[in-house]
Amino acid sequence: MKITGAQALIRSLCDHGTEIVFGIPGGVMIPIYDALYDCKTLRHMLMRHEQGAAHAAEGYARASGKVGVCFATSGPGATNLVTGIANAYMDSIPMVAITGQVRTTALGKDAFQEADITGITMPITKHNYLLKSADDIPRVIAEAFHIASTGRPGPVLVDIPMDVSLSQTDYHPVKKVEMRSYKPTTEGHALQIRKAAKAISLAERPILYVGGGVISSNASAELVELSEKTNIPVTTTLLGKGAIPETHPNSLGMLGMHGTAYANYAVAHCDLLIAIGARFDDRVTGKIDTFATKAKVIHIDIDPAEIGKTVAVDIPIVGDCKRVLSELLKVVEPRKATKWNAQIAQWKDEYPLHYPDDGNLYPQYIIEQIWEATDGQAICVTDVGQHQMWAAQFYKCLYPRQFITSGGLGTMGYGLPAAIGAQVAQPEKIVFQIAGDGSIQMTIQELAPAVAHRLPIKIAIMNNQYLGMVRQWQELFWNRRYCNVDLTAQPDFVKLAEAYGAVGMRVEKPEEVRKAIEKSLQVTDRPTLIDFRIAREENVFPMIPAGQSIEEMMVRRPKTCSEEKAA
């Protein structure tokens, strides 16, 4: 029986286990939305901006481990997806984006709402397709899901001209994908794994440096086992948070620019750096010539292009983190805790994360209270900026996929739509978004679908009425010349939440924090937004200035001139 290309698309998505699509229709997407109208199994959430659709699909993918799917129409719909696609590409998140396109006969003729989206997204997708025939739909969708979810995951875009959606085709489901040019290496080389085990047994000061690859390959259990068997401390990247419970004695929290001082000291002094599913980002390494200079490097990654990209590697192992770690566990010798572990424990004691206790409302305190009130079980979604770093420091993740944030691209506005995606993926869990007042205004319109779908997400705005991270840099490195960072002209967020049909609250004093959080937890049928008016000029410390070495790390706020005179 013949069906339309649009119907073939919807069937293909269902065949690959898609439960929900985030999107917005438009002229050339009407045939596809018409096919969706008849589909009982595939849900759709109508977002208010396509960037929100892409971020929601990504939040869904991160929270569930499945492929996130989003729809957008041609032209502006497709270009609005671009930030979300780039974000998924930088953070290696599996996503399939379907865009409508003008008819094949109009391609390249500057038709109404035409944009060359396959050309535009070439450098920010793992792969993309421009469909020419409805007969290709089942194969291309099967390949798109396969490419997005295997190897190093990433976004795949499929552009479908309207006449392809409308034309008739025989539907033959494609389950198995065979591509001669795409065969990721998943098994680590046995000899290299034995070499790594030997290096571990010889090392005096080893450190595990763990990134998002451990989360995406579901290798958290193997990582914890390795750390416990060998007594090697673990530091994670922003995307690696939750790979080991951050309450575990071997956890050092996050490393890098705003990482813990003890994690950074450990990396600076280690003689063996075991990098797993991490890519030596500049926010992790700082000045590359001064990063872990005493260390031999083992690098485990599924992407061969990451090996040796920024640092020289002594023992490269290309493979899936989970498989490599389980093989490594078979051959690695147990190690006892040594002087090195004692040294790290001492650094932990000497340089704990801290914040002032002077009666002002501090964001770190709020984040700790959110963690306590939810027994550390809530999924934490962030935007980008100071609040994101405070969350990374003070929200102790207990399990993988608990911390959902925009890492590589650093996309302000990521939080709210990603929280929506996470809540859809994990309806039983509490989803707490930690937001900034700058970030949330970039995608605030997504409160509408959150209210429409009665999602009980909690939004905690760390409101300092500044673009806080830029202000911090201007304060520390640009002689306090605060240029265009003041956000005092802003809406009343409580009223704004209420206008959308959500619950709004405002907190100005530390003693009101816990009560407000508890109250938000009582709301189960709509979003709750809490506007926390925090100390305006609180900074994120520790901080290693961009491109500098650990020697330049500011563990605490530098003293002002008057403080130094007084001392």
Partner 1 sequence: MLGRKSGIEITIGVNKDMAKNTQQHTITALVENRPGVLARVAGLFARRGFNIESLAVSITDDVTVSRMTIVVSGDAAVLEQITKQLNKLIDVIKVIDYTGMPVVERELAMIKVNAEPKNRAEIMQLVDIFRAKIIDISERSFTIEVTGSVDKVNALESLLEPYGIQELVRTGKIAMARGSSS
Binding site for partner 1 (CB under 8 A): 118-119, 122-123, 126-127, 130, 147, 179-182, 303-305, 308-309
Closest separation between CB of residue 78 and partner 1, Å? Answer: 16
Closest separation between CB of residue 321 and partner 1, Å? Answer: 18
Closest to partner 1 by CB, 213 or 456:
213
Closest to partner 1 by CB, 182 or 473:
182
Closest to partner 1 by CB, 147 or 223:
147
| C-alpha closest to that of 263 among 288, 238, 282, 287 | 238
Residue 257 in tokens: 């620019």
Closest separation between CB of residue 123 and partner 1, Å? Answer: 6
Cross-strand pairs, 463: 533
- CB 554 within 8 Å of CB 542: yes
Closest separation between CB of residue 412 and partner 1, Å? Answer: 24
Residue 304 in tokens: 């061969």
The residue written with tokens 């998943």 in the block is 186
Let me know if 466 is exposed, middle or buried by CB neighbors in 10 A (0-12, 13-18, 19+). buried
Residue 469 in tokens: 């991270």
Sign of the torsion angle spanned by Cα atoms 29, 35, 38, 39: negative
Name the DSSP class of 484: S
β pairing state of 68-72 and 168-170:
unpaired
Closest to partner 1 by CB, 192 or 369:
192
Backbone angles phi, psi at 210, to 5 degrees: -120, 130
Q: Using alpha carbons only, what angle is made at residue 13 by residues 10 and 17, rounded to the nearest 5 degrees?
A: 135
Closest separation between CB of residue 493 and partner 1, Å? Answer: 40
Closest separation between CB of residue 174 and partner 1, Å? Answer: 16
Cross-strand pairs, 433: 381, 459
Closest to partner 1 by CB, 95 or 370:
95
Closest separation between CB of residue 128 and partner 1, Å? Answer: 8
Closest to partner 1 by CB, 120 or 353:
120
C-alpha span between 515 and 421 (Å, rounded):
27
Closest to partner 1 by CB, 181 or 293:
181
The residue written with tokens 């004093």 in the block is 509
Closest to partner 1 by CB, 304 or 410:
304
Instruction: Tell me the longest C-alpha to C-alpha distance in the chain.
Output: 86
Closest separation between CB of residue 132 and partner 1, Å? Answer: 9
C-alpha span between 356 and 338 (Å, rounded):
34
H or E element in which residue 355 lies: none
